[in-house]
């Protein structure tokens, strides 16, 4: 059976869930997780699966945050991106006279991707280097055999002949500083767009490096709504993303050793309600290896399910990467404690960590009694 | 995190209850702490939504911005907050003591200082942003605010900055403080949830702690589900009372948890170094108060190069001192250093109290002590050592190997021909020596701000408050 068919079987009759940039960016967060790679490769709706399993993901977005995000984006893009242009002029040296604005959304949804392609092709061909803004472009990226459609906020084409991805975010930059984790997430997401645009240029026979690795991040400044733009270098995020996407196209290796009829199908009824017995789905999922880490709690829909599994297995992963690294390869809690109190003999290669653990146990006993 | 803490976490996971990683309390607990639980509006940088605060556990004050997008209501809230916090803070300025200093004028130090407890580190970060959004406001000019607002902004900025200072107890984050004393069987990430961490310490892990319907998050972010289903409709209804009651349900559980956590920490005996660190806190607090009284401008948006370097150096020294003091105060913390070979403990098996070095006038008393230890000693001969058993004493490692360590006492045994009674440990006594010392370290030589070299941007411009700062939007 070919891998693509295997992945379709894994997903079953549940419709595939399209990948958005946020989901693709999150793939890079835990590259070692086979369960996640398979579920994403097959386009499984992880959120629905987690819900059905009784482990709904702990994410949610406040309506206040959504409103604020929309208001801010509207403000930046108002009047043909007038405010954005002002900032790009300052940041990239975009000459005002030569800027054109294209709203790609003016064509029907089904045409948007083709239209974006044509516009970008024309722009890349153009000798005149006209500065142009493309609003609502639709890019695509191949993820494990599936085409994912992506909507960057804006693509700017600059005089120097380079495209810049513009990412509009509503977290504040206060006195020149923003929340590092928010910036990192934005950079990961923007890297997905850069990669998609580079792929498009390559397909069209242009130099992919015409897409700059410096993305323009637009955020509110201080406590007001006034936007401020800064350049963020996403080269590192691009490298991670590329590596992870290559891994995903090598899903066949992960599929080896799994039974041919293994499926994560939720068997939705006519109303879309899942009918698959929960225990059966959980069993199917447990056939694949997850690599749970506490960081999953903020990135993966399956996190509570995998955490529960890690608890049942008594895996030291539960305590975080730092503890796991410190234990140097001792994966289970019982094993580590056994080495510490001497009821278990160290296996080959475990002598050093066993000695440390025994010493630590002796010291704790001495101090606490 | 050390291997010792990792082992405690494993043990906690196995036994289903948090394990102690300290035998004494390493933070100061005020007689009358102020508990402060602020909430912010989701999606905004520093839009306050509510705060529950107070120094009396039975009478929390609840301050609410019924319509957080309304600028006037926000400033009214800030003024109300100032009405509670400023009297609390200023109340500590009345009783002072005069402190004599070598090479400097004596100064007045408050006998006690305020302590504002917030639930977690995100709470401290929000306090800093609140401070930043208030301290440049003006009571006169185009957008006047009540006079207390910029003053509160300066104090909140001060407290949040002080919270980053190792060993300070002026604004502790509760989850951090609990995490320094107990190891739970979950990850550090999950420890940031006050309800979850407290459950580990008291009754054992519980999934309820992660259910926002049972234990709403301890702020500053609210639960998105609550925002969508309760708060947004309440705000739309325009009823301030409904909004207030909704927010009370989110804050009251955390309020109880905060006091429960205080009781837990109070149950631990205070470490020996806590008082001296609190003394530094009192000094710092008095300095800030004097600064305000002299009419100095608010803290700058960013430190200049010299100020930043000086702050960093201060914090590094504070960290080193804090680490050393905790180890001297607490055998369980010292055990971490024993595990890595920077300290060792054991029984004295031999002594030579009369050992001397040198001849004639330069003859010096250098008593020798031989200690039998099971610890892996990784110190080279000649390393200077200190000991928690005799804090004034200095020693030096002579040799180590085969579980026997010879130590030479170099300081603190008296000036006579023989060692002062008790200065040299007796055979059979348990002692601990470490290379970790809390010796005074001089501050690095830094130029005056006016002499900042061009490599560091040259002298910073002096801050002159202007109308633009005061008018800064707060939307």
Residue A113 has pLDDT above 70, yes or no: yes
Across the interface, whether the CB atoms of A318 and B186 are under 8 A apart is answered: yes
Q: B75-97 burial, b if ≥16 CB within 10 A, otherwise e? A: bbbbbbbbebbeebbeebbeebe
Beta strands in B353-446 (DSSP E): 356-357, 364-365, 368-373, 384-385, 394-401, 404-411, 430-434
The predicted pLDDT at position A327 comes to 87
Chain B residues lying within 8 Å of A336, measured CB to CB? 7, 10
Res. A128 pLDDT band, cuts 50 70 90: low
The predicted pLDDT at position A102 comes to 77
Residue among A55, A53, A36, A43 nearest A280 (CA): A53
B3 touches A at CB < 8 Å:
yes
Domain ranges for chain A: 63-245, 314-369
Residue B255 has pLDDT above 70, yes or no: yes
Chain B residues lying within 8 Å of A323, measured CB to CB? 1, 6, 9-10, 187
Across the interface, whether the CB atoms of A174 and B45 are under 8 A apart is answered: yes
- Cα-Cα-Cα-Cα dihedral of B268, B274, B278, B279, to 10°? 140
Chain A: nearest CA to B285, how far in angstroms?
25
Residue among B213, B220, B47 nearest B134 (CA): B47
B155: which residues sit within 8 A by CB, 6+ positions away? B85, B86, B89, B131, B288, B292
Domain ranges for chain B: 3-299, 331-434
DSSP-derived 3-state class of residue B88: helix
DSSP B27: S
A40, A249 Cβ separation under 8 angstroms:
no
Question: How many Cα atoms sit within 13 Å of B71 on the Cβ side?
Answer: 13
Average pLDDT of chain B to the nearest whole number: 90
Closest CB to A60: pick one of B1, B225, B332.
B225
Across the interface, whether the CB atoms of B188 and A69 are under 8 A apart is answered: no
A342, A356 Cβ separation under 8 angstroms:
no
Residue among A209, A249, A245, A214 nearest A230 (CA): A214
Contacting B residues, span 280-319, partner chain A, CB-CB under 8 Å: 301-302
The predicted pLDDT at position A81 comes to 82
CATH fit for domain A63-245, picks 1.25.10, 3.40.1350, 3.90.320, 1.10.3210 = 3.90.320
Contacting B residues, span 144-203, partner chain A, CB-CB under 8 Å: 185-190
Chain A: nearest CA to B346, how far in angstroms?
11
Interface test with B, best of A177, A315, A360 (most B CBs within 10 A): A360
Chain A residues lying within 8 Å of B301, measured CB to CB? 175
The predicted pLDDT at position B463 comes to 65
Q: Average the pLDDT over each of A21-35, A207-221, B42-56, B387-401 and give the range with the smallest value.
A: A21-35
The predicted pLDDT at position A96 comes to 59
Interface test with A, best of B187, B215, B221 (most A CBs within 10 A): B187
Chain A residues lying within 8 Å of B49, measured CB to CB? none
Closest CB to A175: pick one of B3, B186, B302.
B302
Which residue of chain B has the CA closest to A68? B43
The predicted pLDDT at position A222 comes to 85
Note the ipTM here.
0.87
Chain A: nearest CA to B187, how far in angstroms?
4
Architecture field, domain B331-434: Beta Barrel (2.40)
Residue A158 has pLDDT above 70, yes or no: no
């Amino acid at each position: 059976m070919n891998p693509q068919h295997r992945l379709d079987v894994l997903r079953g009759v549940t419709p595939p869930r399209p990948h958005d940039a946020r989901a693709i960016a999150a793939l890079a967060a835990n590259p070692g997780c086979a369960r996640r790679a398979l579920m994403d490769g097959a386009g499984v709706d992880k959120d629905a699966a987690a819900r059905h399993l009784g482990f709904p993901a702990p994410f949610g977005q406040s309506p206040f945050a959504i409103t604020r995000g929309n208001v801010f984006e509207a403000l930046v893009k108002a009047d043909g991106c007038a405010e954005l242009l002002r900032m790009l002029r300052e940041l990239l040296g975009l000459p005002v006279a030569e800027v054109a604005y294209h709203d790609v959304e003016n064509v029907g949804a089904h045409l948007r991707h083709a239209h974006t392609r044509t516009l970008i092709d024309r722009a890349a061909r153009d000798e005149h280097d006209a500065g142009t803004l493309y609003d609502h472009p639709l890019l695509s990226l191949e993820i494990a055999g599936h085409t994912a459609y992506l909507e960057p906020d804006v693509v700017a084409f600059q005089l120097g002949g380079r495209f810049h991805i513009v990412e509009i975010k509503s977290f504040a930059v206060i006195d020149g500083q923003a929340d590092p984790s928010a910036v990192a997430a934005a950079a990961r997401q923007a890297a997905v767009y850069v990669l998609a645009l580079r792929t498009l240029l390559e397909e069209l026979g242009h130099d992919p490096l015409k897409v700059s690795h410096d993305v323009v991040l637009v955020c509110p400044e201080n406590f007001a709504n006034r936007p401020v733009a800064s350049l963020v270098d996403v080269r590192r995020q691009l490298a991670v993303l590329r590596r992870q996407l290559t891994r995903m196209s090598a899903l066949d290796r992960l599929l080896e050793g799994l039974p041919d009829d293994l499926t994560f199908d939720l068997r939705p009824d006519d109303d879309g309600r899942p009918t698959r017995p929960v225990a059966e789905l959980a069993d199917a999922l447990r056939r694949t290896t997850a690599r749970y880490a506490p960081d999953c709690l903020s990135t993966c829909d399956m996190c509570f399910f995998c955490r529960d599994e890690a608890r049942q297995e008594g895996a030291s992963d539960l305590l975080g990467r730092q503890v796991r690294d410190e234990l140097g390869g001792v994966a289970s809690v019982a094993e580590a404690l056994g080495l510490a109190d001497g009821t278990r003999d160290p296996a080959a290669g475990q002598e050093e960590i066993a000695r440390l653990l025994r010493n630590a146990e002796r010291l704790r006993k001495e101090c606490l009694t | 995190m050390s291997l010792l803490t990792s082992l405690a976490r494993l043990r906690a996971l196995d036994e289903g209850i948090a394990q102690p990683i300290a035998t004494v309390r390493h933070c100061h607990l005020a007689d009358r702490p102020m508990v402060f639980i602020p909430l912010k509006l989701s999606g905004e940088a520093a839009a306050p939504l509510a705060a529950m605060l107070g120094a009396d556990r039975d009478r929390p004050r609840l301050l609410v911005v019924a319509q957080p997008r309304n600028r006037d209501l926000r400033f009214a809230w800030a003024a109300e907050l100032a009405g509670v916090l400023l009297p609390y803070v200023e109340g500590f300025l009345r009783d002072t003591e005069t402190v004599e200093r070598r090479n400097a004028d004596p100064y007045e130090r408050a006998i006690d200082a305020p302590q504002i407890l917030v639930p977690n580190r995100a709470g401290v970060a929000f306090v800093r942003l609140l401070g930043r959004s208030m301290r440049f406001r003006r009571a006169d000019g185009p957008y006047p605010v009540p006079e207390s607002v910029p003053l509160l902004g300066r104090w909140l900025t001060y407290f949040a900055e002080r919270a980053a200072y190792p060993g300070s107890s002026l604004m502790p984050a509760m989850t951090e403080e609990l995490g320094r004393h107990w190891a739970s069987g979950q990850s550090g990430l999950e420890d940031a949830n006050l309800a979850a961490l407290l459950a580990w310490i008291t009754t054992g892990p519980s999934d309820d702690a992660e259910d926002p319907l049972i234990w709403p998050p301890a702020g500053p972010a609210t639960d998105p589900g609550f925002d969508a289903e309760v708060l947004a409709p309440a705000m739309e209804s325009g009823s301030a009372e409904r909004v207030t009651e909704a927010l009370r349900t989110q804050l009251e559980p955390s309020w109880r948890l905060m006091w429960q956590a205080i009781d837990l920490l109070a149950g631990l005996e205070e470490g020996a170094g806590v008082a001296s660190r609190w003394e530094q806190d009192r000094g710092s607090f008095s300095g800030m108060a004097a600064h305000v009284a002299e009419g100095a401008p608010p803290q700058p948006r960013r430190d200049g190069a010299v100020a930043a370097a000086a702050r960093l150096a201060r914090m590094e020294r504070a960290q080193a001192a804090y680490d050393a003091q905790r180890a001297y105060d607490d055998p369980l913390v010292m055990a971490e250093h024993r595990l890595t070979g920077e300290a060792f403990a054991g029984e004295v098996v031999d002594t030579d109290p009369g050992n001397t070095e040198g001849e004639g006038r330069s003859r010096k008393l250098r008593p020798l002590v031989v200690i039998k230890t099971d610890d892996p000693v990784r110190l080279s001969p000649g390393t200077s050592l200190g000991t928690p058993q005799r804090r004034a004493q200095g020693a030096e490692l002579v040799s180590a190997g085969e579980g026997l360590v010879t130590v030479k006492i170099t300081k603190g045994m008296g000036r006579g021909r023989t060692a002062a009674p008790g200065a040299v440990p007796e055979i059979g006594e348990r002692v601990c020596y470490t290379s970790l010392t809390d010796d005074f370290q001089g501050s690095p030589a830094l130029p005056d701000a006016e002499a900042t070299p061009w490599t560091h941007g040259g002298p910073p411009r002096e801050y002159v408050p202007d109308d633009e700062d005061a008018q800064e939007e707060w939307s």
